[in-house]
Chains A and B, each alone.
Chain A
Amino acid sequence: MSDSTAIAHGAQAAPDHGHAEHPPYLRHHFENAEQQNDAAGFAMWLFLLTEVMFFGGLFTAYLIYRNWYYPAFVAGSHQLSIPLGGLNTLLLITSSFTMAMGVWCAETRKKSGLVLCLVLTFILGLGFLGIKTIEYSEKIEKHHVPGFHYSLQSFLDPDSDEAAKAAGDKPLALDMARHTEVYFSLYFAMTGMHALHMIIGIAILGYMVFRAQAGAYTSGHVTFVENFGLYWHFVDIIWIFLFPLLYLISRHS
């Protein structure tokens, strides 16, 4: 092995072993930049499919438990605010758009446009997390976080709870009321994992803003921006399903 490497190196007379003939970002085990980009995109999709399976398990659990403890899930979902959830959907969809525009700016080598798009995506992502924080803190205040301090009051006595009263909830039997904890467990697991993905995405966006300012993605090598875009859009898709399932479908039940 070492012999063949030595021969290969010896064969290339140029001191920089022919780097001048290809872009600096092209790894030697790829034929050309296109093949390298395709391989990276393929790998990104494989990663996203493992993510689909991961979230898919949570969605399936939600589907089956909702069917099982239906009145508890209806009462639980009445505790969520549709205006806040809807606003978050708008923020996330818009951030997906600015990210897509960022990929376009990178492809057409518009540096300032790319930086602007990444900063906007960053801000919209933070806005989403801000609203999520408001929603979570309300759940904490009302003791709707599963655990030792979980309170059944909103479900045993709906008239004492503004949201439950507005939705016209009837008091649940103690056994069914206890199962609202299952709803909130899934609510926090799903939105929490989604928010974790957002936090990771926002951290990478922050790094990308600095790299983009240095001109890293606007000189023909767009793979990183492109694949981060895939990740960001994937996180958007998860929310596109979470919003109706958690907030909307039980409104009239």
Chain B
Amino acid sequence: MTDQKEMEAASHHVVSPKIYVAILFALLIGTALTVGASYVNLGVFNPIIAIAIACGKAMLVVLFFMHVKYSSKLTKLTVFAGIFTFLTLIGMTLADYISRAWGQW
């Protein structure tokens, strides 16, 4: 029983509340930035900046709130493979869409 507990303590990484507070503030700042950016006319860059900020926020959530940064290699590989497959599927769909009626996007 004691061995069990020690093993758990050794392998199970506990993320400290300080990191959670820092991530919360980073996410709140990100939200303020994305709302602020939408009030400035940046033309085609409006959606690009909005999606870039959203990706950054999502990455913070995945790495810290969801503990992927402190997880096993199996978890890291699973998450990476999932995102990679997802982007591949979107990429293939868009490639099909763009190439069907060339010029008429």
Contacts and interface: CB of A to CB of B under 8 A. Distances in A.
Interface of A: 21-23, 32-34, 37-38, 41-42, 45-46, 48-49, 52-53, 56, 59-60, 63-64, 67, 82, 86, 89-90, 93-94, 96-97, 99-101, 104, 107-108, 220, 226, 229-230, 233-234, 236-237, 240-241, 243-245, 247-249, 251-253
Q: By CB atoms of chain B within 10 A, which of A22, A226, A244, A249 has the most?
A: A244
Interface of B: 1, 4-5, 7-8, 11-12, 14-17, 20-21, 23-24, 27-28, 31, 34-35, 37-43, 46-47, 50-51, 53-54, 57-58, 61-62, 64-67, 71-72, 74-75, 78-79, 82-83, 85-86, 89-90, 93-94, 97, 105
A104 B24 CA distance: 15
A80 B59 CA distance: 26
Contacts of B62: 233, 237
Q: By CB atoms of chain A within 10 A, which of B61, B66, B86, B93 has the most?
A: B66
Contact of A97 (B4, B15, B20): B20
Given A23-B1, A41-B71, A245-B47, 9 more contacts: A34-B12, A38-B74, A93-B24, A104-B14, A233-B66, A243-B34, A245-B50, A248-B35, A248-B46
Nearest to A222: B12
A86 B32 CA distance: 9
17 contacts: A22-B1, A33-B8, A41-B75, A42-B75, A45-B79, A46-B78, A60-B90, A63-B94, A93-B24, A94-B24, A96-B61, A101-B20, A104-B15, A229-B66, A241-B54, A251-B38, A251-B39
Contacts, number: 147
B17 A101 contact: yes
